Structure 1
Amino acid sequence: MASKQNQLVQTLLDQNQQLNATQLANSLGVSVRTVHNYINAVNAQYPDAIVSTPTGYRIAPAMAQQMLHQSPNDIPQNAQDRCTYILNRLVQKGGSLNLYDLCDEIYISATTFHALMGKMRRLTREYDLSLAVSGDAVTLTGSERNKRRLLSGLLYHESASAFTSTDSLQAAFPSIDIEKVRADVMDVLNENHYFINDYSLLNLLLHIAIAINRVQNGCVYTEAPSTMHPLDPQNER
């Protein structure tokens, strides 16, 4: 999360009560619209962490502590990190976001955003996705399968040494019990007498975590599954 988003979480935690958007805006020294942007950004990374009620916003103390502990407390500063952030947000939010809301989140101008478009378009084309800006709308279009592939690539970029442990995966997917997923995967592999090394296991867990995260956000496959070669009975299981 960015530093201002951390401040939002910290404010909700410190007050220990529901605060409306105006109260949060006054506390943070930003506009109400920017508060909504921060909340959307936090919930994109931590689904349903900040809950809206008729009287304001609230966050569970345990969730807030976890988020603050895991957060790097910074804003993307270079072109590569900004591209990664923007594309990740687009994938998480269903492929369409407001241009100026995105700029507000990472404190860049619309001019700077457009300067990043060439780099982002080249990256999305590698995954057979299309990135476009029309008016105030930024859209990422393509199949759900390719969006998951892009998300996997972005996650590898965000971690300098990729994912080296289940702890690093847990930090990337706080809403998923990674250890439970790992145990279930190992049970299935052991039952079918398969050995998998640590690197391959973490790679498999990453893709399963992405799939769970996408389903949690209401993003499911609508296209027909690709054709697979026939498998022998053991591999079919």
Structure 2
Amino acid sequence: MMDEQERRTIEQVIAAGSPQDIGWFRFWFGDNRWEWSPEVAHMHGYEADEVTPTTELLLSHKHPEDRERVEADLVTSVRDHAPFSSRHRIVDTAGKTHHVIVVSDAVTDEKNEVIGTAGYYIDLTDIVAEQRNEVLDELLPEMIEHRAQIEQAKGLLMMTYGINAEQAFRVLVWRSQETNMKLRVLAERIIARLDELPPAAPALRTRFDHLLLTVHQDTPPT
């Protein structure tokens, strides 16, 4: 059962996007049991209580090109009792492809032992123009004044999740609204905590070195 704080958090998250855009999930390691909100069920093409989510069902909806990678991430999550996070595509029962980000954190018991993971599905497929314009009208002055920090945070999301600038901005706005934190404060705090992340793998640095040294050779866009 959800407590009142969880319920309020979920309501705040759902309010940050259009009704089908964001929903919650939980996964319990002990019995491999999933729970999902009506919004996540709808993303997969089901009514709220039409089916019981299982690992097999969720994997069956992964895009064929993403399924192997997501399945490997799930296996690692269960083995290591670690949160499951991913950026991938799902195909709903009508055959529509959804581009989603899954973000989660650990669920612990009273002994502080990890017993599951819980988080959100964020559907980045559709951007509702009217809602986006309302958000931009509200945030535009702050964006202009603090553009550097916001753009840096957007760049981090784009590189981490492999999403475009508009989708990265949408994720920042979602977290800003959910946490009731100004966008520029959220961006500043993300940037300030970069030293908590592990250093980039040598292979990534090597490839970026190559990009940095050869980008001038690219054909200019027309």
Report the TM-score, using the length of structure 1 for normalisation.
0.33
Report the TM-score, using the length of structure 2 for normalisation.
0.35
Q: Which has the higher helix share?
A: 1
Q: Which has the higher strand share?
A: 2
